[in-house]
């Protein structure tokens, strides 16, 4: 069944560059059909911040209920919102925006999506756990905030630029009453820190390309750990493959994508009531990813 368009159809979408590989349009439009809401989700490729400014101005006067934000604009989006939820302020990034009477309200649903997917897919509870987060950008911020809210025992942020990790930690520490938040430089001396972790999260961009190496050496991973790569691809990322090879439990970012998208949908469609159909969204995302992989194989042959 195709997307239904009427004279009253409202809009949602995803802003980023590039966005042609995004699974969000397929995932959201499948959910809207299942929920029988008059809404359509479109990709919004935005090449630079000058274009971002113009797109945001247009969105304010068009019938948008909201939109998602992906790389490279999650941090920049903070400055375009009229109001930013506390969790997004702590994370230092906005990935979901609710449009209300021309005003833009920013949220961050990524971290909650990550924690929810770990619980639903693996039965893993972050409470009291030791966690390593690799990276210090917007994705790392969203993960850190949700780990603190989930009462993780200890979180260590590893980053090649220690100052960025410390800035992130300083922003979140005042709210981390039950979580020790530490930082360290990502170099050859932190192998022991990674080995001690119950959960290792990749919040960097390493893994988006097939040739990317894992963000930490596979020798630092071991059986009994949970490894979560916030990146998803049709084929396992180098980190997921390395983790499984040593007997660790590993998941990619597809479950997180579904969970954060469902939360965004529920923010936009609160008046419609009910929960987003996560099973429908997961199936649509998996089918879209498989279709992309099939096209890529066909192009390479």
pTM to 2 decimals? Answer: 0.93
- What range does the domain containing 283 cover? 10-109+255-300
Question: Are residues 72 and 183 located together in one domain of the fold?
Answer: no
Question: Are residues 147 and 201 located together in one domain of the fold?
Answer: yes
- Given this model, what pLDDT does residue 138 score? 92
Question: Are residues 118 and 245 located together in one domain of the fold?
Answer: yes
Q: Is residue 76 part of a domain?
A: yes
Question: Are residues 232 and 245 located together in one domain of the fold?
Answer: yes
Question: Are residues 233 and 126 located together in one domain of the fold?
Answer: yes
Q: Is residue 1 part of a domain?
A: no
- Given this model, what pLDDT does residue 270 score? 83
Q: Is residue 117 part of a domain?
A: yes
Q: Is residue 2 part of a domain?
A: no
Question: Are residues 221 and 262 located together in one domain of the fold?
Answer: no
Is 151 catalytic? The answer is: no
Question: Are residues 176 and 210 located together in one domain of the fold?
Answer: yes
Question: Are residues 54 and 88 located together in one domain of the fold?
Answer: yes
From first to last of its 301 residues, the chain has per-residue pLDDT tens of 556 788 899 999 999 999 999 999 999 999 999 999 999 999 999 999 999 999 999 999 999 999 999 999 999 999 999 999 999 999 999 999 999 999 999 999 999 999 999 999 999 999 999 999 999 999 999 999 999 999 999 999 999 999 999 999 999 999 999 999 999 999 999 999 999 999 999 999 999 888 999 999 999 999 999 999 999 998 999 999 999 999 999 999 999 999 999 999 999 998 666 689 999 999 999 999 999 888 766 665 5
Which of 28, 74, 98, 154 does the annotation list as catalytic? 74
State the SS3 of the chain: CCCCCCCCCEEEEEEECCCCCCCHHHHHHHHHHHHCCCEEEEEEECCCHHHHHHHHHHHHHCCEEEEEECCCCCCHHHHHCCEECHHHHHHCCCCEEEEECCEEEEECCHHHHHHHHHHHHHCCCCCCCEEEEECCCHHHHHHHHHHHHCCCCEEEEEECCHHHHHHHHHHHHHHCCCCEEEEEECCHHHHHHHHHCCEEEECCCCCCCCCCCCCCCHHHCCCCCEEEECCCCCCCCHHHHHHHHCCCEEECCHHHHHHHHHHHHHHHCHHHCCCCCHHHHHHHHHHHHHHHHHHHHHHHC
Q: How many domains does the chain have?
A: 2
């Amino acid at each position: 069944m195709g997307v239904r368009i009427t004279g009253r159809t409202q809009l949602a979408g995803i802003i980023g560059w590039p966005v042609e590989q995004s699974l969000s349009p397929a995932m959201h439009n499948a959910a809207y059909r299942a929920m029988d809401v008059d809404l359509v989700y479109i990709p919004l490729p935005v090449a630079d911040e000058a274009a971002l400014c113009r797109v945001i101005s247009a969105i304010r006067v068009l019938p948008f209920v909201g939109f998602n934000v992906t790389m490279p604009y999650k941090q920049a989006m903070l400055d375009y919102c009229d109001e930013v939820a506390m969790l997004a302020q702590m994370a230092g990034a906005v990935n979901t925006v609710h449009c209300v009477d021309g005003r833009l309200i920013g949220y961050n649903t990524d971290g909650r999506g990550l924690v929810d997917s770990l619980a639903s897919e693996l039965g893993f509870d972050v409470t009291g756990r030791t966690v390593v987060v690799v990276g210090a950008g917007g994705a790392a911020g969203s993960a850190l905030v949700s780990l603190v809210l989930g009462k993780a025992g200890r979180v260590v942020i590893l980053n090649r630029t220690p100052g960025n990790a410390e800035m992130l930690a300083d922003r979140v520490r005042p709210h981390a009453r039950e979580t020790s938040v530490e930082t360290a430089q990502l170099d050859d001396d932190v192998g022991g820190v990674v080995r001690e972790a119950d959960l290792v999260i990749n919040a960097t961009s390493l893994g988006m390309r097939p040739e990317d190496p894992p963000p930490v050496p596979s020798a630092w991973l071991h059986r009994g750990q949970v490894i979560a790569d916030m990146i998803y691809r049709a084929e396992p990322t180098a980190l997921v493959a390395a983790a499984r090879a040593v007997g660790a439990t590993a998941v990619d970012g597809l479950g997180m994508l579904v969970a954060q998208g469902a939360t965004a949908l529920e923010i936009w469609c609160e008046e419609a009531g009910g929960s987003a159909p996560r099973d429908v969204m997961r199936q649509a995302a998996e089918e879209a990813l498989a279709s992309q992989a099939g096209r890529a194989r066909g192009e390479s042959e």
